[in-house]
Structure 1
Amino acid sequence: MTIVGTGIIGASWTCLFLAHGFDVVATDIRDGAEHDLNTAIDRFWPTLPETVLAKKQRGNLRFSTDLDEACAGSGFIQENAIERLDAKVELMRRIDAATSKEAIIASSSSAISVTDMQSACAHPERVVLGHPFNPPHLVPLVELAGGEKTGQRALEQAEAFYAGLGKTPVRLEKEIYGHIANRLQAAIFREAIHMLDHGIASAEDIDRAVTEGPGPRWALMGPFMTYRLAGGDKGMQGFWDMFAPMQEKLWADLGNPTPQKDLQDRVTAAVEDSYADQSISTVIRERDTRLRKILAVKKSPVSD
């Protein structure tokens, strides 16, 4: 296995791959990248799912600053570089040239299409999207997609690989900027910013409205099942019968802010003021600990 780019996402992927017994070559050219990677793995390791830790298997990790050397002989490459189209295209071209044509090249890109990323590859048929949700070593979702030149074999192999890691692959039938989950998140974040900027509620209370309201339910079901249940015995049609006029009014009334610098400054000030007493490192540690417990409960049998 090869990890290209060892920032937060790349380090989390590395931790997961190692925990499943894979030998990993990680590559990054940033100063201090190897030290940062090892520090991140040490921090992530105790928060891995208990079922993974119980296997007591840990692959070997090797670090290299040479991309070609890191990719040579690898059967699966997970790319996690900067989210910039020109950089992705060039990096994919180099990875493609450094690997056998049978190797799968997966990108963690949050928004860029595979069609664009594979455009300079000699063997674009094995380039896929494997977009995780942060942190990948815990959150099950992987959004899987191909580009115009991606082969079915590559998609099937990538899906089987991720499933073997305990991930939940979700396939996109068509490419779209931002994929699925980031677009849903963006819609919620846009409305949260609209309400914050218009003084409807504080950043902390808007967050609380999610974590103490729909958030726990969203851990169990998505929007379609949620509204299907809201329709009672008639399901989805029952929801429309009761709430279509309200939804139409809500949709028309939603905000449409644009992230200009002055808005960014106002939101940043409000958020940092709300959470001034909570360090980012502490919140991340608590988040991962609780995420692990939530995911374990989701997998447990439902008793009567």
Structure 2
Amino acid sequence: MSESFGTAAVVGAGTIGLSWAALFAGHGLTVRVTDPRPDLAEAIDNQLSVAAPQLAAQGLDVRGLADRVRLAADVTEAVRGADVVQENGPEDVAFKQELFATLVREAPAHALLLSSSSAIPATAFTGDLDDAGRVLIGHPFNPPHLVPLVEVVPGVRTGEEAVARAVEFYRSVGRTPVVERQEIPGFVGNRLQNALSREALYLVEQGVVSPADLDTIVRNSLGLRWSTVGPFLGAHLGGGPGGYRHMAEHIGPSMRRMWDGLGTPEQGPEQTEALIEAVEHAYGDRSYAELTEERDRKQLAVLSALRPHTPEENAR
């Protein structure tokens, strides 16, 4: 943990906020969590009991983990003395405008103000703030105590010092921050995810494949490949010794023709209901807890396999 960050406030304790709280505590921060939900204490206890062995598997000392997480009665109490604030509220511009006005007013002047917003850029809710220079997006992927990526997206009024400090903070808690220099709704990760999801919906609607079989296809091909190399390096290697140039020149034209044939799912009420029933048929016989446990166990295994083993790998 960096000495610059000793106390973190987590505002909003849904799935993402609870996961952040566990991660921050696992890295030795004092964490204050606030949320109006009546079962906040129970939700935190449940999250920490699930996350503790997963954090330990990542090499963290989880002794006294629960002692580092404290409940705060409201936002003002949560951010008092905080070095960093991670907001996890609804995807609603008006809500975030009001909340960040409170954060700017109540949090210490040095505190970073970060939003887990999945699609709304910071500029959309900071235009009227007196101090927007320390506000920016820190968008994770679920669950953030396991999935390393954090998209760091500054708004038009975000200061460069805040960007650098956000990168420092996320690295200090074992994440992989990537700075995106242009605001765009959905940022990069969710736009890529939605592009694949749109075609997946179309293929299921057209009866080409079932939801379960489509998941099998992705797990055993694209997901496996992209977890190790990503799309561009994968394409570069797919071009053989000629690399991406060979791929672009020789396969690119057929790929571009395929773009014209990509579908747009209807997803009207009838199609949506049919898809819901198909997914429930595939996975509805297992509980949410069972499915997430399996997901997280497999993700930990993948992360362990991908972990750098040499200084040279770590520097890449």
Give the structure-2-normalised TM-score.
0.92
Which residue, out of 60, 70, 76, partners 1:68?
76
Count of paired positions: 302
8 Å contact kept, 1:89–1:117: yes
Residue pairs, 1:164-203, within 5 angstroms: 164-203=172-211
> Stretches of 4+ moved more than 4 A in 1?
54-57
Q: Which amino acid aligns with 1:68?
A: T
Residue pairs, 1:48-127, within 5 angstroms: 48=55, 50-54=57-61, 56=63, 58=65, 60-127=68-135
Give the structure-1-normalised TM-score.
0.95
In structure 1, runs of 5+ residues without a counterpart are none
Q: Deviations along 1:168-227, whole A, 9 cap, x unmatched?
A: 001111000000111100011110100000000111101100001111111111111111
8 Å contact kept, 2:11–2:89: yes
Q: Deviations along 1:216-258, whole A, 9 cap, x unmatched?
A: 1111111111111111111111001221122112111111125
Counterpart CA distance in 2 for 1:203 and 1:151 is 44
Which residue, out of 23, 31, 36, partners 1:29?
36
Pair 1:23–1:204, CA change in 2 (3 A): same
Counterpart CA distance in 1 for 2:263 and 2:220 is 23
The match for 2:297 is 289
- 290-299 or 134-143, which moves further after superposition? 290-299
Shift of residue 273 of structure 1?
1.1
Shift of residue 102 of structure 1?
1.6
Shift of residue 279 of structure 1?
2.1
8 Å contact kept, 1:48–1:292: no
8 Å contact kept, 1:90–1:120: no
Shift of residue 99 of structure 1?
1.2
The match for 1:280 is 288
In structure 2, runs of 5+ residues without a counterpart are 1-7, 311-316
Counterpart CA distance in 2 for 1:40 and 1:118 is 31
RMSD: 1.5
SS at match of 2:297: helix
Q: Which amino acid aligns with 1:183?
A: R
Q: Deviations along 1:248-279, whole A, 9 cap, x unmatched?
A: 12111111125443332121111111223222
Q: Which amino acid aligns with 1:92?
A: F
Counterpart CA distance in 1 for 2:120 and 2:97 is 10
8 Å contact kept, 2:205–2:265: no
